């Protein structure tokens, strides 16, 4: 009989501290988690795809360790063969450290997104998907139009800094766009989200019953991770609830 996966569960992966270097001269701190072989737990296996995580608003506590992104890095290398890259945008602090620079309302952060994608490209990490949460969704929509990007998954998109023009640009970009919208979100709820995202033909809005902006509670974390894996590596879905 397996052991239940709980909020604190950390599964096997190769985890390494990384640094990203932006075109405007900053060093950002981050972590890359890669799948390992089940046999010895140390041999790195080629990932099926890569998640580039863009965290919530740092002025409201958002960072690379924000819980859904941290749990993705703890579970998805083992459960779904995914590489998970997390990093602190400019001026953001977590246990990993503080990235250089200062918060720039989503403007200078364009270079942070570019640095992460450059790292992915240089290290031949396959099939990169952007996973943005709240403020991170704005960065994905505004600055994620890179040819290597396979698509984007948006968690609790506020569509505050990201405008209709950004949605139109993503429509032209043509890559898949999935928005997971909590029923009780503080900023944008499913019905309005469906209207706003209608201008992106390839967008899919998934309303999540009972959820709130911060996805607190293991049932909602599991829904988010399942929806990510369903798009990025369908062969691994649905995720097991025990190991």
Give 131-175 pLDDT, tens digit per residue: 999 999 999 999 999 999 999 999 999 999 999 999 999 999 999
Q: Report phi then psi at 170, rounded to 5.
A: -70, -35
Domains of the chain: 20-235 (3.40.50.1820)
> Tokens 């580039």 belong to which residue?
52
Residue 40 pLDDT exceeds 80: no
Report the C-alpha gap between 100 and 242 in whole angstroms. 39
Give the pLDDT mean for 117-127: 98
Torsion angle in degrees (nearest 10) through CA of 46, 178, 130, 44 = -20
pTM over 0.85: yes
- Which residue, 93, 192, 185, is CA-closest to 133? 185
Q: Report phi then psi at 19, rounded to 5.
A: -125, 140
> What is the percentage of the chain residues whose pLDDT exceeds 90?
97
Mean pLDDT of the chain: 97
Give the pLDDT mean for 208-213: 98
Report the C-alpha gap between 100 and 70 in whole angstroms. 21
Give pLDDT, residue 38: 77
19 within 8 A of 29, measured Cβ to Cβ: yes
Structure tokens at 169: 């640009």
Give pLDDT, residue 1: 56
């Amino acid at each position: 009989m397996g052991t239940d996966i709980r909020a604190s569960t950390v599964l096997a992966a190769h985890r390494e501290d990384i640094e990203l270097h932006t075109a405007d001269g900053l060093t950002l701190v981050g972590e890359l988690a890669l799948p390992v072989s089940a046999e010895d737990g140390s041999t790195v296996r080629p990932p099926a795809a890569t998640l580039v995580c863009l965290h919530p608003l740092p002025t409201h506590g958002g960072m690379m360790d924000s819980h859904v992104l941290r749990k993705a890095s703890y579970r998805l290398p083992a459960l779904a063969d995914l590489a998970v890259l997390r990093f602190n945008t400019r001026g953001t602090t977590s246990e990993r450290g503080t990235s250089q620079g200062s918060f720039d309302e989503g403007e200078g952060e364009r270079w942070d997104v570019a640095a992460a994608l450059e790292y992915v490209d240089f290290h031949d990490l396959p099939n990169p998907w952007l996973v943005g949460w709240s403020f991170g969704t704005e960065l994905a929509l505004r600055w994620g139009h890179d040819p290597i990007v396979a698509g984007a998954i948006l968690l609790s998109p506020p569509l505050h800094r990201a405008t209709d023009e950004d949605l139109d640009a993503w429509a032209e970009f043509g890559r898949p766009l999935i928005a997971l919208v909590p029923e009780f979100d503080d900023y944008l709820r499913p019905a309005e989200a469906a209207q706003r995202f209608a201008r992106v033909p390839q967008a899919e809005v998934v309303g999540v019953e009972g959820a709130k902006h911060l996805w607190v509670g293991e049932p909602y974390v599991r829904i988010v991770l399942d929806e990510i894996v369903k798009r990025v590596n369908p062969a691994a879905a649905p995720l097991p609830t025990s190991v």
